[in-house]
Amino acid sequence: MLFADPLFGLPSWIDAIIRIVIVVLVMTVFVIYSTYGERKLVARFQQRLGPMRTGPWGLWQGFADAIKLVGKEDIRPKNADRWVFELAPYATFIPVLLTLMVLPFAENWGVRNLALGVFFVFAVLGLNIVGILMAGLGSGNKYALLGAVRAAAQMISYEIPLVVSLLCVVMITGADTGNGVGTLNLNTIAALQEDRPYIVLQPLAFLIFFTAMLSELHRAPFDIPVAESEIVGGYFVEYSGIRWSMFQLTEYASMWGFAVFGSVVFLGGWAWPFGVDSHWALQLATTFTKALAIVVVIIWIRTTVPRLRIDQLMNFSWKVLLELSFLQLIVNGIILYYDWPQELLALTSAVGAGFLIFLIIRHASARSTKGLLGTYRTLGASSS
Amino acid sequence: MSKTLAPKPIDQVVKLLEQRFGKLPVAINQTATDANIDCPPEHFRAVVEELKNHRDLAFDFLRNIVGIDMLEEGLACKYQFFSYKNRQAVQVTVLTPPGNPHIPSITDLYPAANWHEREAAEMVGLIFDGHPNLKNLLLDEDVRIHPLLKAHPLQKAEILQGIEDTTPGFTF
Amino acid sequence: MATEVIWWIFALGIIALSAGVVFSRSVIHSAIFLIGSLAGVGVMFVILTVEFLALTQFLIYGGAVTVLVLLALMLTRADPSGRAEKVNGPQAPFALLAGIGVAAVLLVAALSTEWAGNTESPTNIAIEAISQRLFEDFGLPFILASVLLLVALVGAIIVARQEEGE
Amino acid sequence: MSIWPEERVHALADDGFETVDMTINVGPQHPATHGVFRMVLTVDGEKVVDCEPYIGYLHRGLEKLTENHDYRQAMGWWDRTDYLAGMACEMAYCMAVEKLGNISVPLRAEYIRVMMVELSRILSHFMFFGAFGADVGSFGTSFIYGWRERERIYDFFEEVAGDRMFPTYFRPGGVQMDLPENYQDRVRWLLGSIRQGLEDFDGLLVGNEIFVERCRGLSPVTPEQAIAWGLTGPCLRATGYKFDLRKDEPYSVYPNLKFDIPTGANGDVFDRFMVRMAEAWQSTLIVEQCLDALSQMEGELVLNPDLPKTLRIDSGECYVRTEGTKGEYGVYALAKGGNKPYRMKLRSPSFCNLSALREMVIGTYVADAIIILGSLDIVLGEVDK
């Protein structure tokens, strides 16, 4: 295992605890401000102002919400399964917390620098479902149960394209490290992108990763497990107060976690465009900016796009994303095996990404949706 | 399908109905808007079947069912039919004798009649024989009052009948 | 020393959770205890510094298998409220016999084997070495196993589809 | 076409697995029910195998109240039936009273009425677009889009009548008072922003492939089914059947106005949406013609001056139907002397459209059931009377 130097020369485990505490505290502040930021951003998309009353431009709104949530009554339904119900928020939160442990926010700025970083992230994220299932089963509510079933089905389906799209990148790191052996270490993956981020080489893989990420996060258009207009919040419908805020914390923490993860793997992390030798503050700012960009896009999509149906969601995963991601994997393998130039990688992946986008657009335009209103815009245009 | 037919004048509809129903013991007259057939309950089914199935009549659409409390005359039920095919409208009035508010249901001919009949049943106490599910629709399921009867008070403390403990209900 | 303490804590924890799997009255609780116990085994692997195995344990057993168990439970039970359900039927004595048998076999095997490794200073096996073994030394058996699993998967789907179609 | 049998219409999917059917209660407090409506869905996994709607949570005894109030007093209750388009309900009520009492209405008042009713139709349709978008899951953005134009129309209503949702502006024999001074510019500006709003919806929802994918081909209804189930209004026209009471049984000044009746092709959810879009656009054209006509008769009377203080109607019976925002809004009225109607009955389009819900949702997914319910565009004030 690679370890960065312990802070102040402390023993390794004290150093780890200090780092964990720092990450958790910073994450909490981030979560509080990302709820505020999301509300502001969504409000702007909807031609509103968003929170304005608490502090200047409503800046303290997040803290006010947090205090309100902590002070709320913690309600447990009568026919809930007590321990399952009460432990579920923690069971969802811990895996997300664990993923934050391996993310490099700048060079060696992270809790631990694992050799198996990428593998660790998706191994631990798999456990996330357990907490959701516990919430759904323990609540004694049918909406919650339905939400949990949907969440489990969806997360299992989308984990495969997610993992395969990451493997595409890991394959390429093998060509970059020089010895032909790829790396799963997130820090190394970031450092390898000093010259160009992997999104240039693998746009298709990034598209697949981004889509699968939206699904894993239960964000629109894949927010089927929490669909407010159908099952009113899904698996956390029965939670209130602090336990509900644990779910919110999990949601936003995992959103940031995925954003940092995606920016490290695809967007060059802290290394691109300022190089591996830049100042740590610049590196931190770079990572933050990239993660923020991903988060903003997630929120943007949420405000504009309706929700898919569960069967359409499954079809999209199993019939489009899975095939494309495996195709990308095979093409990468061929190109890397014969040592063809990397421009070919970029080209094939870009063609694939173009194909994916074309598929979606053709699907929409083939149905000539724009015609109907146009016919009735003027008088007598449609009179028979 | 999409041709626009002019609505048929009422007197033409009345004439048409007189040709069809001259033999039956029904009275044909007209209201301010529609032709009207006054029909006793026992001939009601036959009249409606004729209205629905005859080529010249072809009343394929049930607009509305109104239950009315006519006090000492009994309960009346008015059906508004419309023919999309021939663009004509007719109203069928069924007056049930006091104490015997039974009318055959027409849900098998017009699926749309289902909720209308349920509403008329709970509001004035008509009974539609052959209706698949004559439960209360708008009122509470276990309430057995008929609020649109003229005898039912408007501004009094109402006692919801049919509930075991007869505590006063809502006061308006 | 510290490692040993942690090892003992987790070992006892695993035993307690496994007992929970057997003795809890609700199927849901059993499944959750099972997840806990499997995750504990994963932690044991971490203590032995075989991270790859530990993560695989988390991914396959913690994430996938138990989730499938829970999903199957959710879809097949009449009462979604998670109330206790009778799990012990007339098969209990046979299950006990089978359990004792398996435990005995495992114990005998564990005690009679001459273990090659050394728990005092475990060796850290790099993932490169594992992949070397898996994809080069034992490449053909690995691929054959994959094909077998794939065939089983496709077969399962076909069987399920046929029943739906009729 | 089954007639609501007690037994299951669709046999449970026999896929060889011993799965358990689950009943889900949706409503009366549920974001998708647009008010206090409740339905109990029996689901097999995600498929709906049965649906039992329950209504009446908002029953206010409209008909009983009308029987016990003066003709003019009772009109306020009728505002509150289709509370998204109060003026359209007033129109039907006033027409019924006028029919009973043989009351004539000045021409200027008729044009004002039609203009207000068409603006109400736009109001109601915008509410539908917004709420339907939220049903499909666009996180409130469509809602806010719909609200923007609604606020502007409501502001105009407030200036005209003093109230936004329940204006009580019409009177038997005309309208309460003339329009404010600057109404021509005001309404023309309104029409511009309404058209912009429709374009925005066209871009936000219809231009979105997920929306189209969700709505296309969902619960297709044939014209025959629609007529048998009692569907009227946009739900009927979406099936391709061109029938609109404004054209086919014309009333008021509609014969003098030029407009088209938009129809769909498949009767599916998407067509219901598009028919309403096109209808709202046509309504703006009608309002424009009304404005032109009104500018020719400035200063004329807007209320029949010969009416007594208390309306007394000796006898009469009528069934007046108007094209309400949701379908055929019919009023049955029976007078037997005195200053109160003997019986008044509302044939509410939402009520009749909703009665077909069960047939439509069986066999669809839970998420689709919500969308189908949304596509019927029910208003619970009208359903429950």
3 state SS for chain D: CCCCCCCCCCCCCCCCCCCCCEEEEECCCCHHHCCCCEEEEEEECCEEEEEEEECCCCCCCHHHHHHCCCCCCCHHHHHCCCCCCHHHHHHHHHHHHHHHHCCCCCHHHHHHHHHHHHHHHHHHHHHHHHHHHHHHCCCCHHHHHHHHHHHHHHHHHHHHHCCCCCCCCEECCEECCCCCCCHHHHHHHHHHHHHHHHHHHHHHHHCCHHHHHHHCCCCCCCHHHHHHHCCCCHHHHCCCCCCCHHHHCCCCCHHHCCCCCCCCCCCCHHHHHHHHHHHHHHHHHHHHHHHHHHHCCCCCCCECCCCCCCCCCCCEEEEEEEECCCCEEEEEEEECCCCCCCEEEEECHHHHHHCCHHHHHCCCEHHHHHHHHHHHCCCHHHHHC
D285 interfaces chain A, CB cutoff of 8 Å? yes
Average of per-residue pLDDT across D326-354: 88
> Would you tell me which residues 12-71 of chain D have a C-beta closer than 8 angstroms to some C-beta of chain C?
13, 15-20, 22, 45
Cα gap A153→A160, rounded to integer Å: 12
A73 token code pair: 């009554």
B56 token code pair: 């010249």
- Closest partner residue to A181 (CB to CB) among C29, C32, C128 is C128
Please list every residue in chain B whose beta carbon sits closer than 8 Å to the beta carbon of residue D99: 32-33
Average of per-residue pLDDT across C69-96: 64
> Would you tell me which residues 192-221 of chain D have a C-beta closer than 8 angstroms to some C-beta of chain A?
198, 202, 204-214, 216
Q: Is the pLDDT of residue C161 over 80?
A: no
In sequence order, what are the residues at sequence separation of 6 or more whose Cβ sits closer than 8 angstroms to the Cβ of residue A354? none
Cα gap A50→C164, rounded to integer Å: 50
- DSSP H or E segment with residue B67: strand B61-69
The reply to whether A378 falls in a domain is no
Residue predicted with more confidence, D119 or C1: D119
Contact D301, D318 (CB under 8 A): no
> Can you list the domains of chain D with their CATH numbers?
62-356+364-384 (1.10.645.10)
- Closest partner residue to C164 (CB to CB) among D15, D19, D20 is D15
Contact D314, D184 (CB under 8 A): no
> Would you tell me which residues 2-61 of chain D have a C-beta closer than 8 angstroms to some C-beta of chain A?
22-25, 30-32, 43, 46
pLDDT at C149: 92
> Would you tell me which residues 123-142 of chain B have a C-beta closer than 8 angstroms to some C-beta of chain D?
123, 132-133, 136-140
* Paired strand residues for B77: B67, B94
Band of the pLDDT at D315, cuts 50, 70, 90? confident
Residue predicted with more confidence, A205 or C72: A205
Distances, alpha carbon D238 to alpha carbons A131, A237, D23, in Å: 45, 36, 31
How far away is chain D from the Cα of C63, in angstroms, using its nearest Cα? 23
CB contact (8 A) between residue D22 and residue C80: yes
DSSP SS3 for C101: helix
C29 interfaces chain A, CB cutoff of 8 Å? yes
Q: Is the pLDDT of residue C147 over 90?
A: yes
The reply to whether A28 falls in a domain is no
CA nearest A269: which of A117, A129, A90, A377? Answer: A117
How far away is chain D from the Cα of A336, in angstroms, using its nearest Cα? 37
The reply to whether A220 falls in a domain is yes
Residue predicted with more confidence, C147 or A176: C147
Please list every residue in chain A whose beta carbon sits closer than 8 Å to the beta carbon of residue D368: 309
**Positions in chain B short of pLDDT 70:** 1-5, 155-172
How far away is chain A from the Cα of C72, in angstroms, using its nearest Cα? 10
B58 interfaces chain D, CB cutoff of 8 Å? no
Contact D371, D136 (CB under 8 A): yes
What DSSP character marks residue C63?
Answer: I
C6 token code pair: 């942690």
CB contact (8 A) between residue C163 and residue D16: yes
Q: Is the pLDDT of residue D72 over 90?
A: no
A54 token code pair: 């608490």
A152 interfaces chain D, CB cutoff of 8 Å? no
CB contact (8 A) between residue A373 and residue D46: no
Please list every residue in chain A whose beta carbon sits closer than 8 Å to the beta carbon of residue C20: none
CB contact (8 A) between residue A138 and residue C28: yes
pLDDT at A379: 55
Rg (CA), chain A: 22
CB contact (8 A) between residue D278 and residue A372: yes
B143 interfaces chain D, CB cutoff of 8 Å? no
Residue predicted with more confidence, D325 or C72: D325
Please list every residue in chain D whose beta carbon sits closer than 8 Å to the beta carbon of residue C78: 20
How far away is chain A from the Cα of D291, in angstroms, using its nearest Cα? 16
CB contact (8 A) between residue A115 and residue C127: yes
DSSP string, B129-158: ET-S----SSS-TT----TTSTTS-SSSPP
Average of per-residue pLDDT across C58-79: 69
pLDDT at C98: 92
D55 token code pair: 């209504």
CATH code of domain B1-172: 3.30.460.80
Average of per-residue pLDDT across C81-104: 74
DSSP SS3 for C74: helix
CB contact (8 A) between residue C164 and residue D45: no
The phi, psi pair for B163, rounded to 5°, reads: -95, 145
pLDDT at C108: 92
Could you tell me the residue range of the domain that residue A311 belongs to?
A: 75-364
Band of the pLDDT at D2, cuts 50, 70, 90? very low
DSSP SS3 for C20: helix
| Optimal mutation site among A39, A49, A229, interface D, most CBs of chain D within 10 A | A229
- Closest partner residue to C55 (CB to CB) among A120, A133, A136 is A120
Contact C44, C53 (CB under 8 A): no
- Closest partner residue to A126 (CB to CB) among C58, C81, C124 is C58
**Positions in chain A short of pLDDT 70:** 1-9, 180, 363-384
Contact A333, D169 (CB under 8 A): no
pLDDT at C148: 93
To 5 degrees, how large is the angle CA A295–CA A300–CA A302?
Answer: 95
How far away is chain A from the Cα of C104, in angstroms, using its nearest Cα? 32
The reply to whether A63 falls in a domain is no
Q: Residue D377 burial (CB < 10 Å; 0-12/13-18/19+)?
A: buried
Least reliable range by pLDDT among A276-280, C14-18, C145-149: A276-280
In sequence order, what are the residues at sequence separation of 6 or more whose Cβ sits closer than 8 angstroms to the Cβ of residue B105? B113, B117, B128, B129, B130, B131
C1-78+118-125, CATH topology level? Four Helix Bundle (Hemerythrin (Met), subunit A) (1.20.120)
Q: Which amino acid is at A356?
A: L
CA D335 centroid distance within chain:
27
Which chains border C (3 or more CB–CB pairs < 8 Å)?
A: A, D
Band of the pLDDT at C144, cuts 50, 70, 90? very high
Band of the pLDDT at C77, cuts 50, 70, 90? low
- Write down the residue that tokens 């004329």 correspond to: D300
In sequence order, what are the residues at sequence separation of 6 or more whose Cβ sits closer than 8 angstroms to the Cβ of residue D128? D276, D377
The phi, psi pair for A323, rounded to 5°, reads: -60, -50
Q: Which of A229-238, A355-364, D73-82, D204-213 has the highest mean pLDDT?
A: D73-82
How far away is chain D from the Cα of C77, in angstroms, using its nearest Cα? 7
A215 token code pair: 């699904």
pLDDT at A294: 92
- Write down the residue that tokens 């009460």 correspond to: A86
First CA to last CA distance, chain C: 64
Helix A342-365, helix A322-337: angle, nearest 10: 160
DSSP string, A38-100: HHHHHHHHTT-----SSSGGGTTHHHHHHHHHHHS-----TTS-HHHHHHHHHHHHHHHHHHH
Q: Which amino acid is at A146?
A: L
Inter-chain CB pairs, C–D, below 8 Å: 17
How far away is chain A from the Cα of C103, in angstroms, using its nearest Cα? 28
Give just the sign of the alpha carbon dihedral D206, D208, D211, D216: positive
